[in-house]
């Protein structure tokens, strides 16, 4: 849901929306991708959406880590340090 909301902001570039989206570059929101992929992974879709919108607006920012995380790997998502 958050990723879809972020993408919906794409046509509405403003300084306020830039400030609103930047924190999402560190978001841990995921989507589990299990169909047709082995091993199943968690994809950091919120970060990806924020990066896509911000760079589409011409904002120069470093790319956040969006590498898929294999299920079963302890991460901050599970309360463990990655």
pLDDT of residue 74: 61
Q: Tens of pLDDT along 43-65?
A: 888 999 999 999 999 999 999 88
Residue 3: CB atoms within 10 A of its CB come to: 21
Show Cβ contacts of residue 52 under 8 Å, excluding neighbours closer than 6 positions: 7, 10
Query: In this prediction, what percent of the chain has a pLDDT beyond 90?
Result: 48
Question: How far apart (Å, rounded) are the C-alpha atoms in residues 25 and 80?
Answer: 20
Q: What average pLDDT score do residues 4-18 get?
A: 96
Q: Tens of pLDDT along 16-48?
A: 999 999 999 998 877 776 656 566 677 888 999
pLDDT of residue 81: 45
């Amino acid at each position: 849901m958050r990723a879809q909301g972020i993408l919906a902001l794409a046509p509405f570039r403003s300084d306020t929306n830039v400030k609103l989206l930047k924190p999402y570059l560190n978001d841990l929101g995921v989507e589990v991708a299990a169909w047709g992929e082995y091993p199943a992974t968690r994809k950091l879709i919120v970060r990806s959406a924020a990066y896509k919108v911000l760079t589409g607006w011409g904002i120069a920012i470093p790319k956040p880590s969006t590498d898929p995380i294999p299920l079963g790997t302890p991460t901050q998502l599970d309360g463990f340090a990655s």
